[in-house]
Amino acid sequence: MSNQEEKKIRVAVIGCGSIANSAHIPNYVKNPAVEVKYFCDILPERAEEAVQKYGCGTAVKDYHDFLNDPELDAVSVCTHNDFHAPITIDFLRAGKDVLCEKPAARVLSEALEMQRVSHETGQLLSIGVVNRFGDAVNRVKDMIAAGKLGEVYHVFASFRAHRSIPGIGGDFTTKEVSGGGALIDWGVHYLDLILYCCGEPKPLTASGEAFCKLGKNIADYTYLSMWANRDAQAKGTYDVDDSVTGLVRTDGPSISFLGAWAQNIGKSEMFIDFMGDKGGVRLQYCQNFVYYTFEDGALLEVQPTYPTVDFYETEINSFVQSVKTRQPNQANIDNAVVTSKIMDGIYRSSQAHREVTID
């Protein structure tokens, strides 16, 4: 084996919070081709905890301290959405490849700038749209490509929970930090996987309404449990959508959706229906799917079983492989920008209360 083949990919993880510890760091540490060189967080104790926990790397508070380290190959950006664009752009310009968490950015203009700099520098930019690495999603994509559903004419997504506002009053619910609520946080995954499964159709128009209703009176928001930043509740901001609906026309199937971080319906309904003229699929989000079709005068309902792999692990390994081979993977910024355009269209349409064009 040559020296080049043996050289490890040296990475840094910026933002050592929830997604870094549940997905990025453990899977980099597991990958024998990777060395984690830096853990970075503006809360220094989080970076130091990571060094202790994973037994590698150096804790750093300010990413500028290792931005130009010539040994560093790639970084994961796991901060909140407001820092996705500036940190990603700094590292691309410093000659590093980047895996940035979803959504690519708060607003379309930031995502377009990230794409422009990635193209200009020739550095790889992947976005953490992890469903593109899910076993069920890839099976549905392959079935659609093989014509098992016939013409897929419409896709409907439901991403609705009874009470699931993440950390009310904190980063997720402050528009200046997050760029939006249920659409940008959950909808991004659904829209992205629909585009992926349907062969990346081009969006043409969007019509939508985004509602800020249940969370805006923070003190009255009633819930059983909450994920993240519970302490921020009393003093924080809530100025994002807690539910959203929309219709997107594309040059392929039309797409409609209803999403809610919180709603006064006591059900959690997380699924995507792919409607074809020969067959249909109901994909339970992050789970399995059922295929409906007909044959010889009978209606068929098939629930396939198959081996599965953790999609975060596949995502991280795919990014590492991209860095080694210099080939973008299926979660690259060019695909993520299309989802950003749709979300931008939905928010613009909601403000204008009419259908808008997507360029």
Ligand X SMILES: NC(=O)c1ccc[n+]([C@@H]2O[C@H](COP(=O)([O-])OP(=O)(O)OC[C@H]3O[C@@H](n4cnc5c(N)ncnc54)[C@H](O)[C@@H]3O)[C@@H](O)[C@H]2O)c1
**Residue 83 in the binding site for ligand X (CB under 6 A):** yes
Q: Which residue is nearest to ligand X (CB)?
A: 17
**Residue 340 in the binding site for ligand X (CB under 6 A):** no
Q: How far is the CB of 79 from ligand X (least distance, A)?
A: 4
Whether the Cβ atoms of residue 14 and residue 88 lie closer than 8 Å to each other: no
SS3 letters across 144-200: HHCCCCCCEEEEEEEEECCECCCCCECHHHCHHHHCCCHHHHHHHHHHHHHHHHCCC
Establish whether the linkage from the previous residue to 103 is cis, with ω within 30° of 0: yes
Q: How far is the CB of 340 from ligand X (least distance, A)?
A: 13
Given the complex with ligand X, which of 207 and 317 has the nearer CB atom?
A: 317
**Residue 26 in the binding site for ligand X (CB under 6 A):** no
Q: How far is the CB of 359 from ligand X (least distance, A)?
A: 25
Q: Which long-range contacts (CB under 8 A, 24 or more apart) does 294-302 make?
A: none
**Residue 161 in the binding site for ligand X (CB under 6 A):** no
Binding test (CB under 6 A) with ligand X, winner from 27, 31, 81, 339:
81
SS3 212: coil
**Residue 18 in the binding site for ligand X (CB under 6 A):** yes
Report how far residue 144's alpha carbon sits from residue 155's, in angstroms, rounded to the nearest whole number.
Answer: 12
**The 34-40 sheet, strands edge to edge:** 58-60, 34-40, 9-14, 74-77, 97-100, 125-127
Sole window of 80-88, 152-160, 201-209, 231-239 interacting with ligand X (rule: CB under 6 A): 80-88
Report how far Cα 167 is from the mean position of its chain's Cα atoms: 18
Binding test (CB under 6 A) with ligand X, winner from 13, 14, 248, 333:
14
Binding characters for ligand X, 172-191, by CB under 6 A (x = yes) = -------------x------
**Residue 19 in the binding site for ligand X (CB under 6 A):** yes
Binding test (CB under 6 A) with ligand X, winner from 9, 15, 160, 169:
15
Whether the Cβ atoms of residue 65 and residue 91 lie closer than 8 Å to each other: no
Looking only at Cα atoms, what is the longest distance across the chain? Answer: 68
CB atoms within 10 A of CB 213: 13
SS3 11: strand
**Residue 236 in the binding site for ligand X (CB under 6 A):** no
**Residue 192 in the binding site for ligand X (CB under 6 A):** no
CB atoms within 10 A of CB 173: 30
Sole window of 2-10, 36-44, 140-148, 217-225 interacting with ligand X (rule: CB under 6 A): 36-44
- Which residue type sits at 216? K
Report how far residue 93's alpha carbon sits from residue 105's, in angstroms, rounded to the nearest whole number.
Answer: 17
**Residue 79 in the binding site for ligand X (CB under 6 A):** yes
Binding test (CB under 6 A) with ligand X, winner from 38, 39, 63, 133:
63
Sole window of 38-46, 255-263, 318-326, 337-345 interacting with ligand X (rule: CB under 6 A): 38-46
**Contact residues for 88 (Cβ-Cβ < 8 A; gap 6+):** 77, 98, 100, 114, 117, 125
Q: How far is the CB of 324 from ligand X (least distance, A)?
A: 22
**Residue 76 in the binding site for ligand X (CB under 6 A):** no
Binding characters for ligand X, 194-213, by CB under 6 A (x = yes) = --------------------
**Residue 128 in the binding site for ligand X (CB under 6 A):** yes
Q: HSE (CB half, 13 Å, CA atoms) of 107?
A: 7
Q: How far is the CB of 27 from ligand X (least distance, A)?
A: 12
Binding test (CB under 6 A) with ligand X, winner from 8, 53, 80, 175:
80
Binding test (CB under 6 A) with ligand X, winner from 41, 97, 110, 192:
41
Query: Which residues in this chain contact ligand X in the complex, by CB under 6 A?
Result: 14-20, 40-43, 46, 63, 78-81, 83, 101-102, 128, 130, 185
